[in-house]
A = this chain, B = another copy of it.
Amino acid sequence: MASKNLLLLAGDGIGPEAMAEVKKLIAAMNAKLGSGFTTDEGLVGGCAYDAHGAAISDADMEKAMAADAVLFGAVGGPKWDKVPYEVRPEAGLLRLRKDMELFANLRPAICYPALAASSSLKQEVVEGLDILIVRELTGGVYFGEPKQIIDLGNGQKRGIDTQVYDTFEIERISGVAFELARTRRNHVTSMEKRNVMKSGVLWNEVVTQTQKARYADVKLDHMLADAGGMQLVRWPKQFDVIVTDNLFGDMLSDIAAMLTGSIGMLPSASLGAPDVKTKKRKALYEPVHGSAPDIAGQGIANPIAMIASFAMCLRYSFGMVDEADKLEGAIAAVLDDGLRTKDILSEGMTEVGTVAMGDAIIAKF
């Protein structure tokens, strides 16, 4: 049997509470289904900084590199607002993405029927929404050099960041988007700002060529990223797969998540390239929501995004498609039963805490 070695990096804020529910789920799967998961744990973010002065230690990075998949909670909080830039909590996540070469970030924005009414958008605009944002995750302005603040004297400083994309980076992320579109509604929309950015000109060119050369069966549209943001708000159902760069993907996927009325529900997967021999991809799974320090430790956090991230892990890292489907079904079922954590509570529903929500999902699984 292939190894199923998971590294759990719960992080800060509500990360540990949400991760605890996944731990219970893994234990249940091992006990009842003999799934054979082994787990190890590590520190990332503010808690890692507190423990050893870095947002992730080299030892934990090594564990992450060796694991079959990493489950990641959330990082950050006001406690670490003043720590040096290089060791801020986010640096741990960025190092994981970069060192593991997780270039493909998959962010589904799905509107659970039971929650359609809780979106700030009209129900008919979001009901049944099912789009997938494919965000480039190891390039662009996040990592380009120079990235620095220069002291110009006279009380003046200069802040510089560099957006860089090479052909191969655009090619491989658009390949992922086209492949995934083939398993969905066969439609990719690429978003950039080619009217002001040279990296956008190249992006547009390479996505176009990739489609012509290898994915002529998939419909491809191009949209300027600002217009794309508007269209997401106006009529999101026009999209199937959206492919975009690291920074636009950050903004657009958060907006898409918010449309669904259930940011506490949305998972993501960050994948590397398949290994030439083993075909295995390095992978990290994390909820789209952040560390929510304001509600941490109260037992009211919504664990669903974390659990749904584990469902993506079953699907993409272990090919356990049936189990993934079943787990996603269990989430939908508890929602249909009217169970709600505080963030998604509405009239007539039953409020439950983090643990009770986790238990209910495991019971349905």
Q: Which residues of A contact B (CB under 8 A)?
A: 76, 85, 88, 90, 94, 120-122, 125, 141-142, 144, 147-149, 152, 155-168, 193, 195-203, 225-227, 229-230, 233-235, 247-248, 250-251, 254-255, 257-259, 263, 290
- 19 inter-chain pairs at a CB distance below 8 angstroms, sorted by A residue, are A120-B125, A121-B121, A141-B197, A149-B198, A149-B201, A156-B166, A156-B168, A158-B165, A159-B202, A160-B162, A160-B164, A160-B198, A161-B198, A161-B200, A162-B163, A226-B251, A229-B251, A233-B233, A233-B258
CB–CB B166/A152 < 8 A: yes
Known: A158-B164, A226-B251, A233-B233. A90 touches B196 (CB 8 A): yes
- What B residues does A250 contact at CB under 8 A? 193, 226
Known: A196-B142, A226-B250. A162 touches B162 (CB 8 A): yes
Q: Once the chains are docked, how many angstroms separate the CA of A201 from the CA of B160?
A: 10
Q: Which of B122, B144, B161, B247 contacts A120 (CB 8 A)?
A: B122
- What B residues does A234 contact at CB under 8 A? 120, 258
- What B residues does A166 contact at CB under 8 A? 152, 156-159
- What B residues does A248 contact at CB under 8 A? 251
- What B residues does A160 contact at CB under 8 A? 144, 162-164, 198-199
Known: A162-B162, A198-B147. A254 touches B235 (CB 8 A): no
CB–CB A120/B233 < 8 A: yes
CB–CB B159/A198 < 8 A: yes
- In addition to A160-B164, A230-B257, 16 A-B residue pairs with Cβ atoms within 8 Å of each other are A90-B196, A94-B196, A120-B125, A121-B121, A121-B233, A141-B197, A156-B167, A158-B167, A159-B163, A159-B164, A160-B163, A160-B199, A193-B247, A227-B254, A233-B233, A233-B259
Best-buried of A90, A198, A201, A257 by chain B (most CB within 10 Å): A198
**Nearest CB in chain B: distance from A314 CB, A:** 27
- What B residues does A225 contact at CB under 8 A? 251
- What B residues does A255 contact at CB under 8 A? 229-230, 233, 255
CB–CB A141/B163 < 8 A: yes
Q: Once the chains are docked, how many angstroms separate the CA of A229 from the CA of B263?
A: 13
CB–CB A229/B229 < 8 A: yes
Q: Which residue of B lies closest to A91 (CB)?
A: B195
- What B residues does A161 contact at CB under 8 A? 162-163, 197-200
CB–CB A159/B199 < 8 A: yes
CB–CB A202/B90 < 8 A: no
Q: Which residue of B lies closest to A199 (CB)?
A: B159
CB–CB A230/B157 < 8 A: no
- What B residues does A263 contact at CB under 8 A? 230
CB–CB A202/B149 < 8 A: yes
Closest 9 CB pairs of A and B: A159-B202, A159-B199, A161-B163, A230-B258, A226-B254, A233-B258, A90-B195, A156-B167, A161-B197
CB–CB A167/B155 < 8 A: yes
CB–CB B162/A201 < 8 A: no
- What B residues does A159 contact at CB under 8 A? 163-166, 197-203
Best-buried of A76, A161, A234 by chain B (most CB within 10 Å): A161
Q: Which residue of B lies closest to A225 (CB)?
A: B251
Q: Once the chains are docked, how many angstroms separate the CA of A347 from the CA of B164?
A: 49
